[in-house]
Chain A
Amino acid sequence: QKEVEQNSGPLSVPEGAIASLNCTYSDRGSQSFFWYRQYSGKSPELIMFIYSNGDKEDGRFTAQLNKASQYVSLLIRDSQPSDSATYLCAVNNPGAGSYQLTFGKGTKLSVIP
């Protein structure tokens, strides 16, 4: 059973702070990792994807991947109230031709003004 684990939160951070969201996965063969943002009542929206160990930065967002530890994280710098949402970690399933994704249950982030 492939698993993707996230702390459900809620994670509360003050406006302007760094929010750190974490995710672990069980399938060592997974190669592709995704972060989605989901506002209440809306569908998931892709924020970032990462394939290689290390950091990948895009604006205020940084994804970090450590395949040896089976760990992927998302850092949000200068957090804004508009970042308040549930963040879903998704990992590809290599045994299913790599096109299927397994999602974690999500971490609810609340940015306090």
Chain B
Amino acid sequence: QVQLKESGPGLVKPSETLSLTCTVSGYSISSGYYWGWIRQPPGKGLEWIGSIYHTGSTYHNPSLKSRVTISVDTSRNQFSLNLSSMTAADTAVYYCARNTLGDGGVDPWGQGTLVTVSS
């Protein structure tokens, strides 16, 4: 059974960089699939942030421009998100998940972690 779990700070100050890690169990990241980050501001819809392939190729939401960095550590079976220049608009529940392109979907998802941006 594949499981994902997010870890990182629940509170970030404005202008700082958010760093989140997703630990995967039950499946080796290096075996394939894309691994991604999705967020959801309180009371709002879902926004895809970006994904990384097990080889290290990355894809991200153009709306977040150059603020997003996604990396993978296959030795620890983890992948990470860095989001720079945080503002209140970045307050959201952040999910990590496994995704495909084409046939397939986003599954499974982590439980999500709430990140609040406040001084």
Q: State whether these chains interact.
A: no
A interface residues (Cβ-Cβ under 8 A, vs B):
none
Task: Please give the residue numbers on chain B whose beta carbons come within 8 Å of chain A beta carbons, in ascending order.
Answer: none
